[in-house]
Structure 1
Amino acid sequence: MSASMEAVRRLMDLRHRGRAEDLPQVLAEAAPLLDAEAVTVLLVDYGQEALHPLRGTVLDTATTLAVEDTLAGRAFTTARHQWNDDGMLWLPLLHGAERLGVLEFRVKAPPPLPVQHDLEVIAALVAELIASRRFYGDAVEHTRRRMPMQLAAEIIWNQLPPLTFAVDGTMVTAVLEPCYEVGGDAFDYAANGDVLHVALFDTVGHGISASALTTLTLNTYRNARRSGLSLLDTCRSIDKWIRAQYPGAFVTALVAELDIATGAYRRISAGHPAELFLRDGRALPMLPTPNALPLGLGHMLRRVPQVIEVQLEPGDALVLYTDGITEARDASGTLFGVEQLSEFMLRTLGAGIPAPETMRRLIQTIVSYEQGELRDDATAAMLQWRRH
């Protein structure tokens, strides 16, 4: 058995026993098998600002590294390996398309290509182990949290899917702030056959009451989707349950379906801002919005909501967002606005920045625009379609 395969075997043993916090010790023992002096897991925090050693790491052999202006951060943002002259190699930790952090190797010399391929396999396996073992303990959460998380935010984050997902060239990627206090915004998606379901919700209110309403909304949406209901009947179901459980409350929403094979996009906007529609470096006219009342208020209008349909072209992007993005204000009170959002997205995507990194930079820009203190939850999701 080769040394690298022995390292794989030791890591694979964690599938059936052990916790995420056991990874550092196993990697320390496996490092000599990989011709490395040390191997360290660095996970990105909730704010996606820095990479932190996984809990259980011996801290005198590892350090926190900023995402901005470091090679480790570049490995994270580009999802490509980075190397420096001091014998440090960083490989991205990817669970599917979801960016978890980086795997840091301290080596004596740049590894030859076959060895580098082995290290990439190790990084992929470590990412899988983190994703599968994270629910059996709190080591990953302790690592990613840089301040106490409010209960409302705890409830919401436990409801959400991973920030990024890709299938057959199509990608959906999202961001959510303030990550430690959010309570009213949420997103969801699911790929079933050739259909990618995507939804964005903005609940009235803040705190625990908003997170409870958001939880009902998310789970009613999933129940309707899994029951095979149409977009129209899905919105009707959510509307009914909100009205029954929280009379007078409401949720604005974009509920959409994308046919991954053909690019046919269908959606209902329930009192929600229209998504940006980007194609070939320009913004196309926005889709009609709203075409339904906010969910929970549907009984006030007898007209049946219209399902808006549009045919996407390969490379098209749709950016869904809550008003916390466009209504962010700078020190002078000037709104960030739809035009500035559109300019940011076109400029960043036009520079070849990957979609997940574009969204990370967007939310950092919004937080900076409001001097670090968001007045409202700010959530956005981007859907990119490519023909498979």
Structure 2
Amino acid sequence: MLASMEAVRRLMDLRHRGRAEDLPGVLESVAPLLDAEVATVLLVDYGQVALHPLRRDALDEAVSYPVEDSPAGRAFTTAEPQWVEGTLWIPLLHGAERLGVLELRVKARPAEEALLDLAVIAALIAELIASRRFYGDAVEHTRRRMPMQLAAEIIWNQLPPLTFAVDGTMVTAVLEPCYEVGGDAFDYAANGEVLHVALFDTVGHGIGSSALTTLTLNTYRNARRSGLSLVDTCRSIDKWIRAQYPGSFVTALLAELDIPTGTYRRISAGHPAELFLRDGRALAPLPTPNTLPLGLGHMLTRQPGVIEQQLVPGDTLVLYTDGITEARDASGELFGVDRLSEFLLAGLAERIPPPEMMRRLIQAIVSYEEGELRDDATAAMLRWQGH
């Protein structure tokens, strides 16, 4: 019988005092209460390539696991516990966001009731990591496998969690190159019965591009929080970009999904149309663009057009920047929209969870360009299942 409540009490002490780097020490004292010899937090790196121990200091012994082809990796990719010869790996989920896994060295496989208790413990640990990470840099040190450029630092600090789910609706995104990205960004917010989603692709690269992206993201949030319509939101961002960065521009998809009904509305500001996937096939793309890129709207006299589409349960929309479709192999052949559609439809047919599909997509793009991306590559998947 697990001494679950005592373990919870000790972990909860970190909620009121302590840092993320204190978690390994607390887990060391908690492990016997969980009938475990060792309890270790493994966090996924920014590239989602491997899982690395959260350490108290640089002298701690560190054993990492690849996401591909390891039991720890399978717990992460499937969001299901994995058991192999005395070791149990339990996914660490903060809501729908995948943080990593909890590794427990145990003598015997826990009973089902004990597994339920351990899942609660893992959820609490994920909550502690998500809340304590801002009080120190231990989580960032663990997740970074190389120095992050300043432009990427600015962008990552602006973004919401990669994955969010509510009432049968999920949005999940990826960015690459994760240590150098500066011009791409995404955002979302669930307010009442409406899910707001946006994807941005800023002209240029580096610190100047990240500054423009920061202005764009925060102007979008300000307009959304002020209750502006899609059209007025588009016009507000356009106005501020033109005022602060004359001559620059940002392509964007600005969308709203009515969660109960599945009504999808969006504006494409010079951006590629999202992929529209239903029943194992790609439907005709929605009309695009509906206005000029943000920052160039003064060249048109008419207002941005809003496209409305009624979704059916199971529909999937994939928003992406041109760094995905314009990736090139060694011969110069583009990855292209057709190959992107085939990749995603194959994943849907295999019932791969959306966050894992996005992770695999970025790995495929990186592999296609032999590890050297020519442009930022960002994608966001929106799935609507109905209530």
**Does the 8 A contact of 1:92 with 1:103 survive in 2?**
yes
1-structure distance, mates of 2:11, 2:227: 40
Give the aligned partner of residue 152 of structure 2. Answer: 153
1:80-99 alignment runs, 5 A limit = 80-85=80-85, 87-99=86-98
1:300 aligned residue: 299
1:78 aligns with 2:78: yes
Aligned with 1:31: secondary structure? Answer: helix
- Matches of 2:173 and 2:246, distance apart in 1: 30
Tell me, yes or no, if the aligned pair for 2:327 and 2:365 is still in contact at 8 Å. yes
Q: Return the alpha-carbon distance in structure 2 between the equivalents of residues 114 and 371 of structure 1.
A: 46
Residue 34 (structure 1) aligns with: 34
1:210-289 mapped onto 2 (5 Å cutoff): 210-289=209-288
Q: Is the 8 A contact 1:185 1:203 kept in 2?
A: yes
Distance, in Å, in 2 between the alignment partners of 1:177 and 1:61 is 29
Cα displacement (A) at 1:81 = 0.2
Mapped partners of 2:28, 2:327: distance in 1: 45
Q: Structure 2 counterpart of 1:153, which letter?
A: A
2:372 is paired with a residue whose SS is: coil
- 1:328–1:374: 8 Å Cα contact kept in structure 2? yes
RMSD of aligned alpha carbons: 1.2
Percent identity of the aligned residues? 83
User: 1:55–1:142: 8 Å Cα contact kept in structure 2?
Assistant: no
2:7 corresponding residue in structure 1? 7
Looking at structure 1, the residues matched to 352 and 20 of structure 2 have their Cα atoms a distance apart, in angstroms, of 31
Alignment partners' CA distance in 2, 1:81 and 1:137:
29
**Given residue 82 of structure 2, which amino acid in structure 1 is its aligned partner?**
Q
CA–CA distance in structure 1, aligned partners of residues 366 and 2 of structure 2: 49
Q: 2:343 — aligned with what?
A: 344
How far apart, in 2, do the equivalents of 1:127 and 1:243 lie? 41
Structure-2 separation of matches of 1:50 and 1:2: 30
Q: State the alpha-carbon separation in 2 of the partners of residues 340 and 23 from structure 1.
A: 43
SS of equivalent to 1:325: helix
Task: Tell whether the 8 Å contact from 1:173 to 1:382 is kept in structure 2 after alignment.
Answer: yes
- SS of equivalent residue, structure 2 residue 382: strand
Q: How far did 1:55 drift?
A: 2.5
Give, as a single letter, the amino acid of the residue that structure 2 aligns with 1:273. Answer: P
**Counterpart of 2:359?**
360
Alpha-carbon separation, structure 1, partners of 2:120 and 2:27: 14
Equivalences for residues 44-63 of structure 1 within 5 A: 44-56=44-56, 62-63=62-63
The number of residues matched between the two structures is 387
> Which AA in structure 1 matches 2:324?
I
Change in CA separation of 1:282 and 1:59 when aligned onto 2, cut-off 3 Å:
farther
**Aligned-residue offset at 1:114:** 1.3
Question: 1:384 and 1:56 mapped to 2: Cα distance?
Answer: 39
Q: What is the letter of the counterpart of residue 289 of structure 1?
A: T
d(CA) in 2 for partners of 1:355, 1:126? 23
The Cα offsets for residues 174-210 of structure 1, whole Å up to 9 and x where unpaired, read as: 0000000000000000000000000000000000000
Amino acid aligned to 1:359: M
Secondary structure, aligned partner of 1:110: coil
Unaligned stretches of 5+ residues in structure 1: none
AA at the equivalent of 1:253: A
Following TM superposition, by how much is the alpha carbon of 1:303 offset from its aligned partner in structure 2, in angstroms?
1.7
Contact preservation (8 Å) 1:53, 1:59: no
Displacement after TM superposition at 1:58 (Å): 8.7
Give the corresponding residue for 1:191. 190
CA distance in 2, matches of 1:324, 1:78: 27
Shift of 1:117: 1.1
Separation in 2, partners of 1:228, 1:82: 45
Q: CA deviation at 1:61?
A: 6.1
AA aligned opposite 2:37: E
TM-score scaled by length of structure 2:
0.99
Q: What one-letter code is carried by the residue in structure 1 that aligns with 2:386?
A: R
